[in-house]
Amino acid sequence: MAEMFESRAKVILHLDMNSFFASVEQAHDPSLKGIPMAVAGNPKERRGILVTCSYEARALGIYTTMTVGDAKRICPTLVIVPPDFLKYRAASTAIFDLLRTYTELVEPVSIDEAYIDITAIGGLTDAVKIASGIQERILRELDLPCSIGIAPNKFLAKTASDMKKPMGITILRKREVERILWPLPVIEMHGIGKSTEKKMNALGISTIGDLANADENIVKVSLGKNGSRLQQRANGIDERLVDPAAGDERKSVGSSTTLPIDETELDACFAVFKQLANRVAVRLANNELAGNVVMIQIRTADWRNQTRSRTVLNPIYKEDDIYREAIDLFEKHWDCEPVRLLGITVTNVISIIEIHEQLSIYNFEEHEEKKRISDLILKLEDQFGPGVIKKGNK
């Protein structure tokens, strides 16, 4: 084990809960264990979508995002339960509390995964022992299975945790990147989606190895800073630290600015809110977050502070949505006093991945229709050029 990392190198664990929603349901109802079962938005609606499913169901060819109807055709006896996000959040909190009994260097990154820096509590010498202890305690105390990756950085640890499921513990050494990762299709690398894959394929990059060894300038020009970052990770390089404060930061994302003059014009204030909405949207996007509470801050020329907030039905993260809610709040509550400072904060934030899961549960048909329209527009633009389709006014 001692040869795994260079001297004094970081030792990072990535914990990934296995089939989390389904596992929580099984922990609450043991009769669901050992059988094909799934969590879906509307068990009675055949077009409802599966959010997750048990490993017994997966063994039959059933998978997440499959419709209830398709899953039932494969396994008529499949047991489907509705989602209970309060239950899942409670389980998530218990998991992170357990992790913090080992070290404060715990960074939750979604409802069911976290990074843990164990460098100072055993490091490379005790990495497997610590990971095994965590895995066993979560199973014994919470009745939930997990997989854990061990590596010298976040990217490799996350990659490793995916290599053996369920209940796996996997070590990924930096020196193994070339042998293990480079032969894989680039789409299998964390951080690369279909859109980025398409751009990379156009550059002749089809495997992770191709990306690792591509011309740095071409990658940067074609894909920007994100391309350079992905190329570093393809070479096993990731200098991000485990940051416990990042979890607190994710509870809210905001931006404020002091105005150059005490402003009294509504349009000028709107222009400031537009800039602030852009900044908040960029930060949300960079952290893959969305929130359902929009709050504005108003500080008047006499240093009187006001905050006003609104809760929206579906979490938001786009600039236009944030801006619209902010200026509506401002119009309703501004008393025309000269303004010295303005701010926007989006709170009650969660991972966009979790948002997509919830949207897929409750709005599957609506979003499927939007996706079909979006796909059609992309095809038309590929054939006839960008901008061939214009959005009309109602």
- Same-domain status, 6 and 59: yes
Specify the 3-state DSSP secondary structure of 246.
helix
Give Cβ neighbours of residue 165 (< 8 Å, ≥ 6 apart).
Answer: 16, 18, 147
CB 345 within 8 A of CB 254: yes
pLDDT in tens, 91-135: 999 999 999 999 999 998 888 999 999 999 988 889 999 999 999
- Cα 239 from chain centre: 19
CB 255 within 8 A of CB 283: yes
| Given 113, 319, 325, 354, the catalytic residue | 113
pLDDT at position 349? 84
- Same-domain status, 19 and 75: yes
Closest CA to 241 of 152, 124, 110: 152
Q: What angle do CA 267, 273, 277 make, to 5 degrees?
A: 145
- Cα 322 from chain centre: 19
**24 versus 248: which is more confidently predicted?**
24
Residue 75 half-sphere exposure toward CB, CA atoms < 13 A? 22
Q: Is residue 47 part of a domain?
A: yes
Residue 112 labelled as part of a binding site: yes
Specify the 3-state DSSP secondary structure of 266.
helix
- Same-domain status, 81 and 199: no
pLDDT at position 312? 85
pLDDT at position 314? 80
**29 versus 3: which is more confidently predicted?**
29
pLDDT at position 383? 54
User: Which of 340, 355, 370 represents a domain boundary (last residue)?
Assistant: 355
- Same-domain status, 29 and 169: yes
**Residue 193 — pLDDT band, cuts 50, 70, 90?**
confident
**CATH of residue 97:** 3.30.70.270
Q: What is the mean pLDDT of residues 180-195?
A: 91
Q: Which domain holds residue 340?
A: 250-355
Please give the share of the chain, as a percent, with pLDDT higher than 70.
84
- Same-domain status, 265 and 323: yes
Q: Is the pLDDT of residue 227 over 80?
A: yes
pLDDT in tens, 306-315: 899 988 878 8
Total Cβ atoms within 10 A of residue 229: 18
Quickly tell me which residue has 């109807």 as its tokens. Answer: 69
**CATH of residue 205:** 1.10.150.20
Q: What is the mean pLDDT of residues 210-236?
A: 93
Q: Is residue 138 part of a domain?
A: yes
**Which sign does the torsion angle of CA 114, 120, 124, 130 carry?**
negative
Average pLDDT, the chain: 86
pLDDT at position 323? 96
- Same-domain status, 204 and 56: no
The first and second tokens of residue 70, run together, are: 């398709």
pLDDT in tens, 361-388: 444 444 444 545 555 555 555 555 555 4
Q: What are phi and psi of 102, to 5 degrees?
A: -90, -45
Closest CA to 100 of 127, 138, 132: 138
CB 346 within 8 A of CB 284: yes
Quote the number of domains for the chain: 3
**CATH of residue 307:** 3.30.1490.100
- Same-domain status, 159 and 189: no
pLDDT in tens, 148-165: 999 999 999 999 999 999
Read off the amino acid at residue 246: A
pLDDT in tens, 228-245: 999 999 999 999 999 887
Residue 248 labelled as part of a binding site: no
Catalytic-residue membership of 113: yes
CB 220 within 8 A of CB 319: no
Segment (H or E) for 331:
helix 319-333
pLDDT at position 43? 58
Q: Is residue 124 part of a domain?
A: yes
Measure the CA–CA gap between 127 and 245, rounded to whole angstroms. Answer: 23
Q: Is residue 271 part of a domain?
A: yes
- Same-domain status, 157 and 267: no
CB 1 within 8 A of CB 125: yes
245-276 as b/e: b if 16+ CB within 10 A: eeeeebebbbbeeebeeebeeeeebeebbeeb
The β-bridge relationship of strands 339-351 and 37-40 is unpaired
pLDDT at position 348? 81
- Same-domain status, 84 and 197: no
Q: Is the pLDDT of residue 290 over 90?
A: no
Q: Is residue 242 part of a domain?
A: no
- Same-domain status, 229 and 261: no
Measure the CA–CA gap between 367 and 167, rounded to whole angstroms. Answer: 34
pLDDT at position 355? 56
Q: Is residue 386 part of a domain?
A: no
Closest CA to 279 of 336, 342, 192: 342
The first and second tokens of residue 310, run together, are: 């609104």
